[in-house]
């Protein structure tokens, strides 16, 4: 070791280990994002008999906040991928499907980090898709909560439902799927997670163990400070998005910018080292849960969300229209992950581009239209579509097929590096939307009142997908379109 190089004290000793740790972080950020989106898209779009006009105002303020937090998880995902690119590594938009029990949200791991308060133990926090309700927002609070001891020291409110005691074991609020047996086991400190344990990219036999999210980011930060010759990626390959919509995606080219990104991630989430009064995800979710609990106490019949199922499964959707729309959403979402993977792999600043304008074509698809004009409207159609079981509507499972995961994990320039791959995907999306638009929606609508809404949504998303497909091709040919250029 040269005298100028710091000693490597952290558990991450090598660059490949750091890359694996970042993949770990990337998966968790994306998983958090999609479970937040699922809950947000389940929220009612207008008042009804169980949601008065006054309550609806609460619902959409909560929806606004929830979607903002989901956007910031997207930002975290983007920053982690910026860091990967800065290291000269491939981006990582792959992840495991949900439901899943993340190793970073196991009570035993959480206890090892932030809650050494004797009888108080943190609860497991599974990644599950569940509509917006008290349990769901309670679980989100736990996912973003600092440790028990940190909360005590900071004076922040303590979300008691995130922690178990001998008198009040885990699971009573946040883990609806726990059986009494599992609860009993949890109270005894030997819980069996009800969901499949998530994979890890780390190598446990090399003295790296999954801990908590904060530990993971602390370890990454330490590695950024200590490991030599890290930033070998092309500094001009850093995806940059102007500060908008409470998200900040900036270039990462060195240890300083990497540190800024890592600090931003933990500050926004748990409020670590944030200024007084800072509205972290934890505080925002905590406040929403308090408001919801108060409103439910006042009006026990209040229902802020539509009857979306917990952890939607394709097999459980029996209505052909709903199933086809469900498949289309997942296909469209996978397409977006491919677009992002390719963008991070092939990014070129606009000023440096010449034909083919592949980077611009991908960027103008990913940021903006794909999220707000394609995915969200389809999810909203699903939320108002009967699944066929007589009880539920449905929502997307964000399912990635094994083929999708393979494509995301191993960059193939013949596919993700080829505009035709994306044009074919969009052609399929347009064809499916065209077919769905001709279906008789009366049989799938929750009520006849919803029919105009469903028709309008489908027609609009078809128009948008058609235009996006056209833009993808045209931008590839001629570069950035005039509407994206801000005239002086």
Partner 1 sequence: MTYAKLLTIQFQGYFLCRLATDPDPTNEARGVSGYTMSLLGEDELDAVIRTQVSPAFAKKNLREPAERMGIQIGVNVTGVSFDGDSYPPGNALLGAKVYLEGKNEPFDGPTYDSRNNIVGSDDNMAFVVNPFELAIRGDGVSIFAKDYLNPADPEQKIWKIEDPALYARRLPTAFSSSSTEVMAILRVFDQFSYFRDRRRYLTERIEQLEKKLAAGDPGNTDREGIQAKIQALKTRIYQIEFWGDRVSSKLAFQLTYSHNNNGPQRIEGLEKLKGQADTHHPWPVTYWFGGWDGDLLTGYMAGTLGIPFLPA
Q: Residue 484, interface with partner 1 (CB under 8 A)? A: yes
Q: How far apart are CA 280 and CA 272, in angstroms?
A: 9
The CA-based dihedral angle spanning residues 438, 443, 447, 451, taken in that order and rounded to the nearest 10 degrees: 10
Q: Is the dihedral of CA 8, 199, 402, 33 positive or negative?
A: negative
Nearest CB to partner 1, comparing residues 206 and 456 = 456
Span from 14-22, 159-167, 318-326, 369-377 in contact with partner 1 (CB under 8 A): 369-377
Helix (H, G, I), strand (E, B) or coil at 446: coil
Q: Residue 301, interface with partner 1 (CB under 8 A)? A: no
Nearest CB to partner 1, comparing residues 55 and 253 = 55
Q: Residue 61, interface with partner 1 (CB under 8 A)? A: yes
Q: How far is the CB of 309 from partner 1 (least distance, A)?
A: 22
Token look-up 């439901």 returns: 99
Tell which one of 76, 103, 182, 376 touches partner 1 (CB under 8 A). Answer: 376
Provide the strand spans (E) within 191-268: 241-244, 247-249
**Encoded tokens for 419:** 């505009």
Helix (H, G, I), strand (E, B) or coil at 243: strand
Q: Using CB under 8 A, which residues numbered 223 to 242 contact partner 1?
A: 242
Tell which one of 118, 276, 277, 488 touches partner 1 (CB under 8 A). Answer: 488
Span from 105-113, 387-395, 438-446, 470-478 in contact with partner 1 (CB under 8 A): 470-478
Q: How far apart are CA 214 and CA 216, in angstroms?
A: 5
Span from 151-159, 204-212, 423-431, 458-466 in contact with partner 1 (CB under 8 A): 458-466
Nearest Cα neighbor of 397 from 446, 342, 325 is: 325
Q: How far is the CB of 289 from partner 1 (least distance, A)?
A: 17
Q: What is the DSSP string of 86-111?
A: HTTPPP------SSBB-GGG-HHHHH
Helix axes 376-383, 15-41, angle to 10 degrees: 50
Tell which one of 63, 91, 146, 388 touches partner 1 (CB under 8 A). Answer: 63
Q: How far is the CB of 359 from partner 1 (least distance, A)?
A: 16
**Encoded tokens for 314:** 């394709």
Count, residues near partner 1 per rule CB under 8 A: 49
Q: Residue 198, interface with partner 1 (CB under 8 A)? A: no
Q: How far is the CB of 48 from partner 1 (least distance, A)?
A: 13
Tell which one of 367, 384, 398, 476 touches partner 1 (CB under 8 A). Answer: 367
Q: How far apart are CA 411 and CA 288, in angstroms?
A: 40
Q: How far is the CB of 46 from partner 1 (least distance, A)?
A: 6
Span from 50-58, 89-97, 181-189, 218-226 in contact with partner 1 (CB under 8 A): 50-58
Binding mask 68-87 for partner 1 (x = CB under 8 A): x--x----------------
Helix (H, G, I), strand (E, B) or coil at 67: helix
**Encoded tokens for 386:** 């009967």
Q: Residue 427, interface with partner 1 (CB under 8 A)? A: no
Which of left, alpha, beta for 229 (phi over 0: left; psi -120 to 50: alpha)?
Answer: left
Q: How far is the CB of 256 from partner 1 (least distance, A)?
A: 26
Q: Give the contacts of 32 (CB within 8 A, at least 6 positions apart).
A: 73, 127, 143
Q: How far is the CB of 458 from partner 1 (least distance, A)?
A: 11
Q: How far apart are CA 256 and CA 224, in angstroms?
A: 9
Provide the strand spans (E) within 89-218: 121-122, 163-164
Residues in contact with partner 1 by the rule CB under 8 A: 43, 45-46, 52-55, 57-58, 60-61, 63-65, 67-68, 71, 242, 244-245, 364, 367-369, 371-373, 376-377, 453, 456-457, 459-460, 463-464, 466-468, 470-471, 474, 481-484, 486-488
């Amino acid at each position: 070791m040269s005298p100028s190089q710091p000693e490597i004290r952290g558990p991450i000793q090598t660059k490949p280990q750091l890359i694996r740790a970042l993949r770990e972080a990337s998966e968790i950020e994306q998983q958090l994002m999609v479970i937040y989106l699922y809950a947000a898209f389940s929220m009612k779009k207008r008042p009804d008999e169980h949601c008065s006009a006054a309550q609806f105002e609460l619902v959409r303020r909560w929806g606004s906040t929830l979607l903002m937090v989901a956007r910031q998880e997207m930002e975290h995902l983007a920053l982690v991928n910026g860091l990967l690119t800065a290291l000269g590594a491939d981006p990582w938009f792959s992840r495991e499907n949900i439901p899943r029990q993340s190793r970073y949200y196991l009570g035993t791991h959480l206890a090892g980090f932030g809650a050494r308060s004797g009888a108080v133990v943190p609860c497991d926090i599974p990644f599950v898709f569940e509509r917006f309700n008290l349990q769901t927002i309670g679980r989100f609070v736990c996912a973003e909560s600092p440790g028990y001891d940190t909360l005590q020291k900071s004076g922040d409110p303590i979300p008691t439902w995130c922690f178990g005691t001998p008198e009040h074991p885990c699971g009573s609020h946040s883990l609806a799927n726990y059986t009494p047996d599992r609860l009993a086991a949890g109270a005894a400190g030997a819980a069996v997670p009800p969901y499949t344990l998530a994979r890890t990219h780390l190598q446990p036999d090399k003295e790296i163990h999954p801990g908590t999210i904060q530990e993971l980011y602390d370890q990454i930060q330490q590695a950024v400070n200590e490991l030599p010759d890290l930033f070998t990626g092309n500094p001009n390959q850093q995806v940059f998005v102007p500060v908008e919509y409470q998200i900040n995606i900036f270039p990462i080219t060195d240890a300083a910018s990497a540190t800024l990104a890592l600090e931003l991630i933990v500050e926004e989430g748990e409020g670590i080292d944030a200024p007084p009064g800072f509205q972290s995800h934890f505080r925002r979710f905590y406040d929403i849960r308090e408001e919801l609990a108060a409103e439910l106490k006042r009006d026990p019949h209040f229902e802020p969300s539509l009857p979306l199922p917990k952890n939607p499964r394709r097999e459980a959707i029996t209505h052909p229209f709903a199933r086809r729309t469900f498949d289309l959403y997942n296909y469209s979402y996978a397409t977006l992950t491919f677009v992002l993977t390719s963008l991070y792999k092939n990014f070129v600043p606009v000023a440096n581009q010449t034909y083919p304008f592949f980077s611009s074509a991908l960027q103008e698809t990913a940021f903006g239209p794909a999220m707000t004009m394609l995915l969200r409207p389809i999810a909203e159609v699903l939320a108002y579509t009967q699944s066929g079981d007589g009880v539920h509507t449905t929502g997307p499972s964000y399912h990635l097929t094994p083929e999708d995961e393979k494509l995301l994990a191993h960059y193939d320039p013949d596919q993700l590096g080829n505009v035709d791959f994306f044009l074919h995907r969009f052609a399929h999306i347009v064809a499916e939307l065209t077919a769905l638009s001709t279906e008789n929606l009366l049989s799938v609508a929750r009520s006849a009142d919803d029919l105009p809404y469903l028709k309008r949504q489908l027609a609009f998303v078809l128009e948008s997908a058609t235009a996006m497909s056209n833009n993808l091709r045209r931008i590839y040919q001629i570069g950035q379109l005039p509407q994206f250029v801000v005239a002086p």
